[in-house]
Amino acid sequence: MTRVSLSRLPGERVRAVDGGTDREVPVSDLPAYVTAREAEAPRWVWDDTARWYPSLLAAGVRVQRCHDLRLGHHLLRRAPAVDGRLLAGEESEHWDRLGPSARSDPALFSIDDTAEHLRADLEDARQLAAVAASPEATRLELLLAAESSGALVAAEMTFAGVPWRLDVHERLLTDLLGPRPLRGTRPQKLQALAAEVRGAFDAPGLNPDSRPELLAALRRAGLEVTDTRASSLRALEHPGIGALLRYKQLAHLFSTNGWAWIDEWVSGGRFRPSYQPAGSSTGRWSSNGGGALSFPLQVRPAAVADDGWQFVVADVAQLEPRVLAGMSGDRALARSARGADLYQGMVDDGAVASRTDAKLGLLGAMYGATSGASGRMVADLTRRYPAAFGLVEEAARAGEQGQVVRTLLGRGSPDLGDAWDRDADDPPADPDSQARLRRAYGRFTRNFVVQGTGAEWALCWIADLRNRLWRLGATGTLTSRPHLVFFLHDEVVVHTPAALAEAVAAQAAEAAATAAGLLFRDLSIDFPLNVSIVRSYADAGKPGLTAEPVAPGASRPQT
DNA sequence: TATAGCAGCGCC
DNA sequence: AGGGCGCTGCTATA
């Protein structure tokens, strides 16, 4: 497969290094150039997918595969199995400093002029050499390919957007809050609740949004509270608490996903959040706009497929415990993982008395719980699943000793020094706080290996699904075929013509099996999906709606 | 007046 | 003393 590297040159020109030929093309020729080459399926190599791909998508071009040098550099720099010296060279310090390009302003990508016109071909050669020299070359190649595919998916999802019914969202807001208020004022129903709270606590001037004021009012009413969290308030006995809790819930809806959110993030009937692949240190994506990481249940009814289309919503049941079983090669846990419910599998295997205990113990092991019911379950289960629990325990010990850990495919954790830089201005002096930090870092590395490998599984899943979806639609542009519109850690939403919904659901399951094979080979870990075929995202996961396989044609849109 | 930090909430 | 995120408003600080 050929590699074509693209670099921006000063002015409206692009350097394309193509099988050894170095040529300049005008930016305006780029979509045509990319399309012409796509038939030969090269890998497009560029500094940042988010910088190049949106305009190509707008021009109707779908890129089949790419290598994202920014993501690659970041990854290889921290990969324990890579010799960092091989990444050094001309302009390499600029690649070290490169951050993600901004969602709305690609100009922010640059740190300075040099960074804006980095030579992609030079960096590409270094990365190829660094990988080739690594004893983990095969796994790193898979990881880099998955990471870059993820970047393509992210750009495509932002381009496509989640179908969004403004009327549904606004009706929902009006029903709960009243008509849209003037800027800077509370909506009617929120205002009324605030008045009710003031009355109940006999605090005429109270602003319920102010923590100190609210705490003072609660204390005056004889309630012993130290914070104003809903979970703390729920335990209190007072006639005003109900109104206060309702106020808090609606105030959150108003400020987080109210009219201002619509103005900012919904356009042309689509919600377009922006994604940042590998935005978190574990390799999970983050989001720097639109709040894609917390797509609240309250507003999901507004996500409605187009007429004649449906959503296929698929999520993995207990992704991380399954990943832990796979990466540790724990045969007992792998056996419990056969079937749709891993926790129930643990009960059926006689490892634990109840599903709740199974969950407590497993999550406790992955998060580093040391006390309470969770901590006790960890101790019990360690005897039953020594390989799995040993793996996270070892990762925790490594972290406590200041060592770097890695995911299955070779992503390295940030080192303890970075963690200190992040958390404290001064290097911790006294032994106590140093020990505390080391334990905190140990909990982080413990979770890193599982969460990070889970992220790798998910990347392989969506990368393969992306290709399958493209093949499923015989013709047409990206958004006239089945296409991904949302991804969050272990869940995807595909927008598809209704007639293809069943096929999409099958492809999602096939892609999950492919991902499992790529990461865990012959260990054959099950990754069962919960799949819903729905018109509205809010209906996903509800039993009964899609429990029975739907005959093709039976799943036509309802109104 | 602008900004950083925190609390609280949402998601996995 | 359970991991990872982002967003909002309030609060303190300069």
CB A285 within 8 A of CB A279: yes
Nearest-angstrom CA–CA distance, A405 and A402: 10
Q: How far is the CA of A407 from the C1' of B1 (A)?
A: 46
Q: How far is the CA of A274 from the C1' of B1 (A)?
A: 30
* Residue A440: CB less than 7 A from any atom in strand C: yes
Residue span(s) of chain A under CATH 3.30.70.370 come to 270-318+457-539
Q: How far is the CA of A553 from the C1' of C8 (A)?
A: 44
* Residue A541: CB less than 7 A from any atom in strand C: no
Q: How far is the CA of A473 from the C1' of C9 (A)?
A: 46
Nearest-angstrom CA–CA distance, A111 and A91: 13
Q: How far is the CA of A239 from the C1' of C11 (A)?
A: 29
Q: How far is the CA of A187 from the C1' of C9 (A)?
A: 16
Residue span(s) of chain A under CATH 1.10.150.20 come to 320-451
Give me the amino acid identity at A155: A
In this structure, is the dihedral angle defined by the CA atoms of residues A116, A120, A124 and A130, taken in order, positive or negative?
negative
Token pair of A42 as six digits: 């090269």
Q: Tell me which residues from 355 to 374 on chain A have a beta carbon below 7 angstroms from nucleic acid strand C.
A: 360, 363-364, 367-371, 374
Token pair of A481 as six digits: 């075929």
CATH no. for A270-318+457-539 = 3.30.70.370
Q: Which protein residues have their Cβ less than 7 angstroms from some atom of strand B? A: A 211, 227-231, 248-249, 252, 256, 293-298, 315, 488-491
Chain C: nucleotides under 7 Å from a protein CB?
1-12
What is the third-level CATH fold of A320-451? Answer: DNA polymerase; domain 1 (1.10.150)
Question: How would you write the pLDDT of chain A (559 residues) with one tens digit per residue?
Answer: 899 999 999 889 999 999 889 999 999 999 999 998 887 889 999 999 999 999 999 999 999 999 999 999 999 999 999 999 999 999 999 999 887 764 444 444 445 667 788 999 999 999 999 999 999 999 999 999 999 999 999 999 999 999 999 999 999 999 999 999 988 889 999 999 999 999 999 999 899 999 989 999 999 999 988 899 998 898 888 999 999 999 999 999 999 999 999 998 999 999 999 899 999 999 999 988 888 888 888 899 999 999 999 999 999 999 999 999 999 999 999 999 998 999 999 999 999 999 999 999 999 999 888 888 888 888 889 999 999 999 999 999 999 999 999 999 999 999 887 655 544 444 556 777 788 888 889 999 999 999 999 999 999 999 999 999 999 987 899 999 999 999 999 999 999 999 999 999 999 999 999 999 999 998 889 999 999 999 999 999 866 444 333 333 333 333 2
Going by CATH, does the domain composed of A3-160 fall within 3.30.420.10?
yes
Rg (alpha carbons) of chain A, rounded to whole number: 26
Chain B: nucleotides under 7 Å from a protein CB?
7-12
Spell A506-531 as b/e; 16+ CB within 10 A means b.
ebbeebbebbbebbbeebebbbbbeb
* Residue A291: CB less than 7 A from any atom in strand C: yes
- Cα→Cα distances A351→A322, A366, A376, Å: 16, 18, 14
CA angle A52, A57, A60 (to 5 degrees): 135
CA angle A394, A397, A402 (to 5 degrees): 125
Residue span(s) of chain A under CATH 3.30.420.10 come to 3-160
CB A492 within 8 A of CB A153: no
* Residue A294: CB less than 7 A from any atom in strand C: yes
Q: Tell me which residues from 189 to 248 on chain A have a beta carbon below 7 angstroms from nucleic acid strand C.
A: 207, 209-213
Give me the amino acid identity at A204: P
